[in-house]
Amino acid sequence: MPREQMPEFSSSVKLKYVKLGFQYLVDHFLSLLLIPIMAIIAIELLRMGPEEILNVWKSLHFDLVYLLCSCFFVIFISSVYFISKPRTVYLVDYCCYKPPVSCRVPFATFMEHSRLILNDKPKSVEFQMRILERSGLGEETCLPPAIHYIPPTPTMDEARSEAQMVIFTAMDDLFKKTDLMPKDIDILIVNCSLFSPTPSLSAMVINKYKLRSNIKSFNLSGMGCSAGLISVDLARDLLQVHPNSNAIIVSTEIITPNYYKGNERAMLLPNCLFRMGSAAILMSNHRSDRWRAKYKLSHLVRTHRGADDKSYYCVYEQEDKDGNIGINLSKDLMAIAGPLVLPASEQLLFLLSLIGRKIFNPKWKPYIPDFKLAFEHFCIHAGGRAVIDELQKNLQLSGEHVEASRMTLHRFGNTSSSSLWYELSYIESKGRMRRGDRVWQIAFGSGFKCNSAVWKCNRTIKTPKDGPWSDCIDRYPVFIPEVVKL
C-alpha cells in the first residue's frame, strides 16, 4: 500500500495566515496589551455614578510640592526626548536623466564599433559579444557621444561635457519639479566614482547655478556603485545638525574616460554593462515638507568588507600589461553579504532559531527571514544579470520583486550609483507605490561595500506623466531571454 504523502506545510495557505497573524501580534504587542486595559477602565467609569467618581477623586490626596515636582519631571523628560530625538529626514522628490535618442547603442552598433576599434583583437570582440548576449541589456541603452567616435575620444573636455550634460539636465528637471530655487540649497553632495577632475564636480555645479558662498559641498569619488546611498547617509547626518535645511544629492558615473581598449577579459566587462545616467535627489528636514515629500528615511545601514583581500580587489582599477587602464571585475564579486532590516516578528523567529541551534541541535536548519514581510518593494542595484539573479536567490524573492531591477538593466543598463533611482521611478511609473509602503534599496560597490536604505512612502504617488520611463513604461515588463543571439 503506497505511503500517504504528507502535505507541504511550507506552502500551505493556512500556515501563511498563521504567520501573518504572528507578525501582526509581535509588531503591535503594546497596542494589543493597552487597548483591553483602557477598555476595562472606561467600562468601570461608565458604571460608576458622578458622586462615586467625585469621591474617588477626593480620596486622592495631592501634595502641592509633590505635584509641582512631578510636573517638572514630566516636562524635563519630554524636553530631553524631543531635543535628542533625531530629526525626520524626507525625500521630497528626485529626477533621473533621460539620454537623447542620438546616444543609443543597439547591439549591432556596439559590436560594429568593437570590431573596428579592436580590429587586431578578434578574441576580445568575440568575448564582448558573448557577454552582451547574456547581459540582460536591451537595444535602447546609451553611451556618451565620445564613445560613438571611431576610435573613441576620451579627452578631458569630452568627459566634462558628458558630466555637464547628465548632471545639469537632472538638476534642471529637479528645480522645475520641486519649485526649488538654487539659492535655497544648503547642502550639496556629488558622487562620481571614476571621474574626479579639478575643480571638482560639486564646484562645477556651484559655478553653474551660482550657489551661495556658505553652502556645505562635498564631492565623493572612488566609492563605486554604492556611493549613492553613502551620499544619502552623509546628507542624513548633516541634516541632523543643520535644522531647516535642503540637501541635494547628485549621483552619476561618467563613462567617457573609462572605455577599455585592451585584451583582458575581466576588464572588458564594464564596456558591455555600464551606460550613461544620473539622478538628482532633494532631501529636507523642514517639518513643512512632510506634506509634500514622497518618502521618509527609516533606516540606513552601511557594511564595509575592505579588510578582506578578496573583497578589496573584486572591483579594482588597474593597468593591463599593455598599459591600458580599466576596471577589473573579479569573479569574487558575487561573494557578498547584505545587511538585514526586518520587522520584530522576523527578528524574533531568527533569534529563536539561532538560540535553538546553539543550545539544542546545531544541525537544525537555520531560519531564513521572510523579507517579503518586511518590505513591499525592492530596488536592487542593476549591476548585471548575475548580480540580480544571485540576490533574488539569496533573499528568496519572486520575479515581481526584482522586476524593477531587471527592467532598469534592460532599458538603461548599469548606470552605477544612479540605478536605484531609475528602479524607484519604474515602480512609481507602474502606479504601485501606496502610502505606508516600505522600499528597500540595496547597493554595493568597490571596496567592497554593501549599503542599504529603507524608505517609507509618505503618500500614494500618482503615476508620473514625465520622467525616464514616460515613453516606454507601457511596453514593460518585457521578456528577457537567457541568450540574445547576435
Closest to 421 measured CA to CA, from 252, 261, 270, 258: 252
φ, ψ of residue 362 to 5 degrees: the values are -65, -10
Q: Is 377 a catalytic residue?
A: yes
Active-site entry in 272, 410, 457, 458:
410
**C-beta of residue 410 within 8 angstroms of C-beta of residue 137:** yes
Given 225, 272, 450, 457, which residue is catalytic? 225
Per the annotation, the verdict on 148 as an active-site residue is: no
- Whether 242 sits among the annotated catalytic residues: the reply is no
Residue in 96, 377, 450, 451 annotated catalytic: 377
Instruction: Please answer whether residues 384 and 419 qualify as being in contact, where contact means their C-beta atoms are separated by less than 8 angstroms.
Output: no
Is 450 noted as a catalytic residue in this protein? no
Cα(194)–Cα(4) distance, integer angstroms: 62
61 catalytic? Reply is: no
Specify burial of residue 341 (Cβ count, 10 A radius: 0-12, 13-18, 19+). buried
Distance, in Å, from the CA atom of 167 to the CA atom of 254, rounded to the nearest integer, reads: 10
Q: Which of 95, 381, 401, 457 is catalytic?
A: 381
| C-alpha distances in Å from residue 246, one per residue of 300, 376, 411 | 19, 28, 31
Pairing of strands 295-304, 216-220: unpaired
Tell me, yes or no, if 410 is annotated catalytic.
Answer: yes
CB 470 within 8 A of CB 420: no
> Is the torsion defined by CA of 113, 117, 121, 124 positive or negative?
negative
- Helices (DSSP H) in 242-370: which residue ranges? 265-273, 309-313, 344-359
Q: Which residues are catalytic?
A: 225, 304, 377, 381, 410, 414
